[in-house]
Amino acid sequence: MYENRRIGFMYVLPFVIGVVLFKLFPFVMSFALSFTQYDLIEPPKYIGVENYREMFTTDKLFPKSLSVTLMFVVLTVPLRLAAALMVAQILNFKLRGINFFRSAFYLPSILGGSIAVSILWRFIFSRDGLINQIIVALGGTPILWLADEQYSLWTIVLLNVWQFGSSMVIFLAALQSVPQSLYEAAAMDGAGKGTVFFRITVPLITPVIFFNLVMQTVHAFQEFNGPYMVTEGGPLHSTYLLSLYIYEQSFKLFNLGYGTALSWVLFVLVAALSAIAFYSSKYWVYYAGEKEGK
Q: Does 209 bind another protein (CB under 8 A)?
A: no
| Three-state SS at 270 | helix
- Tell me the closest approach of the beta carbon of residue 191 to another protein, in angstroms: 15
**Count of other CB atoms within 10 angstroms of residue 124:** 15
| CA geometry: angle 278, 176, 100, nearest 5 deg | 115
Question: Is 155 in contact with 231 (CB distance < 8 Å)?
Answer: yes
Out of 57, 116, 189, 283, point to the residue binding another protein (CB under 8 A).
116
Q: Does 280 bind another protein (CB under 8 A)?
A: no
Out of 237, 270, 281, 285, point to the residue binding another protein (CB under 8 A).
270
Q: What is the dihedral sign for C-alpha 88, 90, 96, 97?
A: negative
Question: Is 264 in contact with 56 (CB distance < 8 Å)?
Answer: no
- Tell me the closest approach of the beta carbon of residue 126 to another protein, in angstroms: 8
Site for another protein in 48-67 (CB under 8 A): none
Q: What is the DSSP string of 10-53?
A: HHHHHHHHHHIIIIIHHHHHHHHHTTEE--SSSPPEE-TTHHHH
Q: How far apart are CA 151 and CA 185, in angstroms?
A: 47
Out of 61, 74, 82, 115, point to the residue binding another protein (CB under 8 A).
115
Q: Does 276 bind another protein (CB under 8 A)?
A: no
Out of 72, 165, 201, 210, point to the residue binding another protein (CB under 8 A).
165
Stretch that binds another protein, among 45-53, 67-75, 124-132, 143-151 (CB under 8 A): 124-132
- Tell me the closest approach of the beta carbon of residue 168 to another protein, in angstroms: 10
Q: Does 206 bind another protein (CB under 8 A)?
A: no
Stretch that binds another protein, among 51-59, 68-76, 139-147, 164-172 (CB under 8 A): 164-172
Phi and psi (nearest 5°) for 45?
A: -115, 125
Phi and psi (nearest 5°) for 121?
A: -65, -45
Site for another protein in 232-261 (CB under 8 A): 243, 246-247, 250-251, 256, 259-260
Out of 49, 104, 272, 275, point to the residue binding another protein (CB under 8 A).
104
Site for another protein in 131-150 (CB under 8 A): 133-134, 137
- Tell me the closest approach of the beta carbon of residue 67 to another protein, in angstroms: 18
Which helix (H) or strand (E) is 221 found in, with range?
Answer: none
